[in-house]
Amino acid sequence: MRLHTAVRWRTCPFPLVEAAVPREGRVLEVGCGHGLLSLFLALSGPARQVQGVDVDDAKVDAALEAAGRLGPSDAHVSFVTVAKGWLPEEPADAIVIADVLYLLAPGEQRRLLAACAGCLAPGGVLVIKEVATEPRWKFRWNQVQETLSTRVLGITEGGGGLHFVPPASMVGWLSDEDLDVESRPIDRGYPWPHHLLVARR
């Protein structure tokens, strides 16, 4: 309960992302950062086997350190550093990508999503949390924040620029991979245009 309260006030509505992920099976989080979402998924679903991957070594180290503090019954989460351009190959029951795609050029985003779609087990689900480009005032506020984060403070690696693809375009890409897609805003109560895409095999 305390964990839910803590994440409620973080910038991304993690509980809504978590609710779209099956309660058991292999869960891959691409671009896990410091591991907050992967740890949340693991702690809220003891039958999930969660693996977080990220290109940032230092963030993965921090995630590993946090995971090392879990008790044995919660230790069903692991973290791995991957090279830039890495694409998933192992089968997964769920793949989660939260606030990562905008850091990749549109062609790379589409390639990553196609690779994720190809890894989904029958009945598997691809859960994507990004920010939409509407409403405009929320989008502009997000752009200011992300520009600070990537170009001024260097919190997030964003050397390739910021590429916010409208959710409708992503729905098209995912449909081309033969996935059934639900797309909905989850920005109520937040100044960011959070958006959730849930694509099922």
Ligand X SMILES: C[S@@+](CC[C@H](N)C(=O)[O-])C[C@H]1O[C@@H](n2cnc3c(N)ncnc32)[C@H](O)[C@@H]1O
- Interface with ligand X (CB under 6 A): 12, 30-33, 36-37, 53-56, 59, 82, 84, 86, 98-100, 103-104, 156-157
Nearer to ligand X, 10 or 180 (CB): 10
Q: Quick one: 25 or 33, whose CB is closer to ligand X?
A: 33
Query: Of 77, 72, 22, 21, which is closest to residue 49 (Cα–Cα)?
Result: 77
15-19: list long-range contacts, CB under 8 Å, 24+ apart.
Answer: 16/186, 16/196, 17/96, 17/98, 17/127, 17/129, 17/196, 18/44, 18/45
Nearest approach in angstroms of CB 69 to ligand X is 18
Q: Looking at beta carbons only, is 4 or 84 nearer to ligand X?
A: 84
Cβ-proximal residue to ligand X, closest one:
33
Helices (H) and strands (E) in the chain, counts: 7, 7
Cβ proximity to ligand X, 133 vs 156, nearer residue: 156
Specify whether the CB–CB gap between 196 and 183 falls below 8 A: yes
Query: At its nearest, how many Å lie between ligand X and the CB of residue 122?
Result: 25
Q: Which two tokens stand for residue 98?
A: 């939260």
| Cα–Cα distance, 39 to 13 (Å, whole number) | 15
